[in-house]
Chain A
Amino acid sequence: MIIVNYVVAVLLLVLGLYAVCTQKNLIKVVLGLGIIDYGINLLIVSVGFNDGGTAPIFTISDLLNGISSNFFVDPVPQALTLTSIVIGACVDAMALALVIMIYRKYKTVNADEVRRIRG
């Protein structure tokens, strides 16, 4: 249980949320979105950590020879994190594509001016 990981993960999450909620430049908002994702990825990876464990790459024969369960780190959160990283990359790509199109149409990326639909 590495405490620092968890603290930093929560910190990144809060920083990302702060960026999304207060920044006016749309690109900074997308950056904030990315930071939220990285924070959560760090959280997921840290959940699977076992003290003194090694990377979870084994063959069946090694496992059947009776190695204790604390010997390797949990592989499932690593799989979850990989999925989440890919999803984060796609979300960022789509968000940036939308920002580019918004710039072409609205000639600005200031959130206070990109608000034709309101009320």
Chain B
Amino acid sequence: MISVQHFPVIAVMGLFLCAFLVEIFGAKNKFIRNTIVLIAAAGAFALIASLIKPVLLNGEIISYWMGNWEPVSGYAIGIGYEIDALNMFFALLVVTTILLAAIYSIKYMARDHHLGHYYTLFLMLSGSVLGLVLTGDIFNMFVMIEIMTFASVALTAFRNNKFGALEAGFKYLIIGSIGSSMTLAGIALLYAQCHTLNMAQISAALTNSLTPTTVLAFALMFAGFGVKSYIVPFHAPAAEAYMTAPTSISMVFSGMVNKAGVYGMIRLVYVIFRAMDLAPLQLILATFGTVTMFIGVTMALAQHDFKRLLAFHSISQIGYVITAIGLGTVLGLEAGLFHAMNHTLFKGLLFLTAGAVLYAAGTTDLDKLGGLSKKMPKTTVCFLIGAFSISGLPPFNGFASKWMIYQATYEKAATTGNFAYAFVTIVALVVSVMTLASFIKVTQAVFFGQLPENLKDVREVPLLMRVPMWIMSVLCVLSGVFYNVVEKYLLTPAANAAFNVTNYIDKMMGDGTAAAAGVTNITVDGATLSLWNPILWLVLFAIVLIAVCIVVLTGENTRGRVLAKTENDSEDGKYATFFGGEKSTHSHVAGSDLFWGFKHDFKGYFKFIQGMHSGVVSDYALWAVVATALIVVLMFVFVH
């Protein structure tokens, strides 16, 4: 029996191997192709899921040296994979997304050509992200980032006859490469200082010895991982790429790829540099997060395209995660991780419904759609669950994680006495309401309202596309209602792993290394929240029952008669919508017609911010460079 420590490598290598097998054997034959992809995705899922018991429940750390090159006299000479609870948390998100995206792609991409290439790139993307979150070696992480960038760019530009796909891919490549180059420069400088590439050893070597070289390395790597997580001002290519990529890939992007950036940032700040107790650094991260939140949601309110709107919301929610992580408290880190997990679930669900709409209706333009709930009722239900989750309405998962974030920020404000964190809480709450507004807009523009003439024969999407949507909806509801279970088994071990680095170092480099280097432990007790009272639920159900009975049973019941729609009824009948006595025309209130008052009041702001997103690649590169320079200066001034 293969020992459990080989599983991570087998999972990653399996995905890469199947990537090439798909192209060789499956280029022409649909059945072989789908089989190989599903086996790869399911296999990776099974292998990582079997690691839950040792890592999350028993608290072990799995380490694996490639080629069995163990460390020699305290120096790591091989590439090491190390899985602790933090890696495991992100790895679970990654494999779930891969599996659901693979199931969805089978039907969704069925109308495209060159599917062998598509699945190769898809499996390479999956393998590289899984490798990124599982590895313990910093240069391996960089190589995985590069493979991820490649595959992402090729997938963004996959449907190259679609509007804007090529330019989106190009901009993504340029900005992504700038980010990766910054990361590589940082790695080179770190190597110059520590002469090792293993993250555990670097962490031990950097205790209490921050030289200017390492501070510069920190700043450059921070900027590099910031580009990968698409915080403002690195966010512009992400908005375009999510819009033009095929929707199953958009779901992978928003579910896995920017979580990889978040993971990199947590690893960098919490584990390698252990710098999270510095107050200026917390403020810097909180500032980036707040600005990201606000700009993301205000840009989203002005969009006409369904997927671009969802992309900006992705950026805004990652702002929440970065703010929560940047607080440096246990509750903050747990809240950030929980929100990252919920974001994968509900944003993936929303992208899948957008894909369903695109597949069925052929367009994602909010001004051209309308009234689809009558033709696609199941998709509507999934969409509403996703929309209420992201807006943070109880009892879905967005509510629980956003509550934790508000509590974390306001507690931080109270304990440090710094008014800036109270301001962050207020902004977070206002952004939450604006998120709700944005999704009400999409609901009205796409699902409710009047059906346009050209969409009269839209049908519900195939079963294989609905199954991932259902699975994600159920997970959204479950992780919202049973958030206690999630916290105990997933969040607290992960936060523990991020704050207590001794075990991480010891496992890789041999016991005693951490103590010799002077690394100390912090006690992490689980954060306590009390949201629901079970007896309240019971009585609530009783009220709902009474209310439903009142509404449905009283008065004359017109159920039977409405179902028969005849020609006479549609114009002036009792069951037509009220038009004040005039002849009814198609007068659907579409996406751009909503929120007129809000857009009018913020005219100047919208003109400025939409002008800034000019679409020119040099502009986006300029923002990235200026932001990197700013980060470098800030780090030198405050972190030393």
**Do A and B touch (CB < 8 Å)?**
yes
Say whether A33 contacts B177, CB under 8 Å: yes
Q: Across the interface, which residues of A come within 8 angstroms of B169, CB to CB?
A: 98
A73 within 8 A of B: no
Interface residues on A, range: 35 or more
Contact, CB under 8 Å: A91 / B177:
yes
Pick the contact of B170: A24, A37, A99 (CB < 8 A).
A99
A residues at B contact (CB < 8 Å): 13, 17, 20-24, 26, 29, 33, 36-37, 40, 43-44, 47, 74, 76-77, 80, 83-84, 87, 90-91, 94-95, 98-99, 101-102, 105-106, 111-112, 114-119
Other CB < 8 Å A-B pairs besides A21-B618, A21-B625, 8 of them?
A: A22-B618, A74-B195, A77-B188, A83-B139, A106-B166, A114-B617, A117-B164, A117-B243
Known contacts A47-B191, A98-B170, A116-B163; is-contact A111 B617 (Cβ 8 Å): yes
Pick from B160, B178, B184: contact of A17, CB below 8 A. Answer: B178
Which residues 221-265 in B have Cβ within 8 Å of A in the complex?
A: 240, 243-244
Rounded to whole Å, the gap between the CB of B69 and the closest CB of chain A is 13
| Nearest chain A CB to B426 CB, angstrom units | 28
Shortest CB-to-CB span from B568 to chain A, Å, is 46
- Seen from chain B, the residues whose Cβ lies within 8 Å of a Cβ on chain A are 139, 143, 146, 149-150, 153-154, 157, 160, 163-164, 166-170, 173-174, 177-178, 181, 184-185, 187-189, 191-192, 195, 197, 240, 243-244, 302, 308, 610, 613-618, 621-622, 625
Q: Given A26-B617, A47-B192, A95-B173, check contact A117 B240 (CB 8 Å).
A: yes
CA gap between A91 and B148 in the complex, in Å: 12
Q: What are 29 residue pairs bridging A and B, where the CB atoms are less than 8 Å apart in the complex?
A: A13-B185, A20-B174, A20-B178, A20-B621, A21-B618, A26-B617, A29-B617, A29-B618, A33-B177, A40-B181, A40-B184, A40-B185, A47-B191, A80-B139, A80-B191, A83-B139, A83-B143, A91-B150, A91-B177, A95-B173, A98-B173, A101-B157, A102-B166, A111-B618, A115-B615, A116-B167, A118-B613, A119-B302, A119-B613
Given contacts A47-B188, A47-B192, A115-B616, contact A95 B154 (CB under 8 A): no
Contact, CB under 8 Å: A26 / B625: no
CA distance A95 to B188 in the complex (A): 25
Q: How far is the CA of A116 from the CA of B170 in the complex (A)?
A: 13
**Which residues of B lie under 8 Å from residue A76 when comparing CB positions?**
191, 197
B167 near A114 with CB under 8 A, answer yes
Taking a contact as CB atoms under 8 Å apart, the answer to whether A91 and B173 are in contact is yes
**Distance (whole angstroms) from the CB of B100 to the closest CB of chain A:** 27
A40 to B189 alpha-carbon distance, docked (Å): 10
Complex: A37 Cα to B170 Cα, angstroms: 17
A114 shortest CB reach to chain B, Å? 5
Complex CA–CA separation, A24 to B163 (angstroms): 21
Closest to A113 in B: B616
* Interface of B (DSSP majority class): helix
Task: Say yes or no: A102 contacts B170, CB within 8 Å.
Answer: yes
Does the CB pair A36–B178 fall under 8 Å? yes
Partner of B181, one of A37, A74, A90: A37
Residues of B within 8 A of A111 (CB): 616-618
Please report the C-alpha to C-alpha distance between residue A20 and residue B512 in the assembled complex, in whole angstroms: 48
Choose among A23, A77, A105, A117 the residue that contacts B615 (Cβ–Cβ < 8 A). Answer: A117
Which residues of B are found within 8 Å of A77, using beta-carbon distances?
188, 191
Report whether A116 and B615 are in contact in the complex, using a CB–CB cutoff of 8 Å: yes
Complex Cα gap A43–B186 (Å): 11
Is the beta-carbon distance between B174 and A29 smaller than 8 angstroms? yes
Give CA–CA (A47, B184) in the complex, Å: 13
Q: How far is the CB of B280 from chain A (nearest CB, A)?
A: 26
Report chain A residues within 8 Å CB of B178: 17, 20, 33, 36
Query: Using Cβ atoms and an 8 Å threshold, which residues of chain A touch B154?
Result: 94
Provide the bound-state CA to CA distance between A71 and B88, in Å. Answer: 42
- Given B166, B177, B189, which contacts A101 in the complex, CB threshold below 8 Å? B166
Which residues from chain B contact A91 at a C-beta distance below 8 Å? Answer: 146, 149-150, 173, 177
Cα–Cα, bound, A62→B252 (Å):
51
Whether the pair B618, A20 counts as a contact (CB closer than 8 A) is yes
What is the distance, in angstroms, from B4's C-beta to the closest C-beta of chain A? 30
Q: Are B173 and A94 in contact (CB under 8 A)?
A: yes
CB < 8 Å neighbour of A98 from B164, B166, B308: B166
A112 to B621, CA, bound (A): 14
Beyond A29-B174, A98-B169, A117-B164, whether A36 also contacts B616 by CB under 8 A is no
Q: Which residues of B contact A99 (CB under 8 A)?
A: 170
Distance from A101 Cβ to chain B, minimum over Cβ atoms (Å): 5
Which residue in A84, A95, A102, A116 is a CB contact (below 8 Å) of B184? A84
Cβ B170 vs Cβ A95 within 8 A: yes
Residues of B within 8 A of A119 (CB): 302, 610, 613, 615
- Min CB distance A69 to B, Å, is 11
